[in-house]
Amino acid sequence: MSEQLPEALSAPPRIVPGRPRVVCNTRPGVDWNTCGQAAIATVLAHTRLGPFAAGGFVSDGDAIDWVKRDFPGDLPLGLGTSAYRLAHALRSLGLAAEHVHSGWFGRRTTRALERVVEHARAGDPVPVCIDLGRLGGPAGGGHWGIVTRAESDGLWIGNAGLDAPVPPERFLELWSCPLFPYGHNHAGVLAWV
């Protein structure tokens, strides 16, 4: 999705013990609009596939570049990466993947949220499309954040400049993306081995 990152999103990545590694697009002037590739790389880091298969250290920038070679953004006018591209990339790299979203008029929002929470509670990172405008970024700007953990008080989102769990109501607001096309409202990409 299109993104112009607020300052909090361009901070250096942090490794948080007990949570999946989150690959962040932090190279100014190079990683603009690569949050989709960072999301794919995050799942690959978790499953030890792609550039992480050898087990050595791979920088965030190298991981993003590796993904970008075969799976660049697919939206018109360079506006980013669709949920369909994320799911296709993960399937192409040997994972089972499912694109979940709320459907027409948000009818499946509850079920989509349940699936994201189940997946995160199992310890798997979940790329979710969030509205940057609701985090202080440009109105209508999208971003692929990563749900790293689901707890009773909220969801932890990596690569979004947030340092606390997001309460469920607030998460639903960020995740709604009302200006985005069908398939990207309450959208997430689940992947597993």
Residue tagged 């398939």 (tokens): 183
pTM attached to this predicted model? 0.90
Does 149 have pLDDT greater than 80? yes
Longest dimension (CA), the chain: 45
pLDDT single digits (tens) 15-34: 555 678 999 988 888 888 89
Does 54 have pLDDT greater than 70? yes
Candidates 164, 175, 69; CA nearest to 116 is: 175
Among 3.90.70.10, 3.20.20.70, 3.40.50.720, 3.40.50.300, what is the CATH number of 7-192? 3.90.70.10
Helix, strand, coil content of the chain in percent (nearest 5): 40, 15, 45
- Contact between residue 97 and residue 90 where contact means Cβ atoms under 8 Å apart: yes
**Where do the domains of the chain lie?**
7-192
Question: Which tokens is 47 given?
Answer: 């499953």
Residue 66: count of CB within 10 angstroms of its CB:
18
| Average pLDDT over all residues of the chain | 90
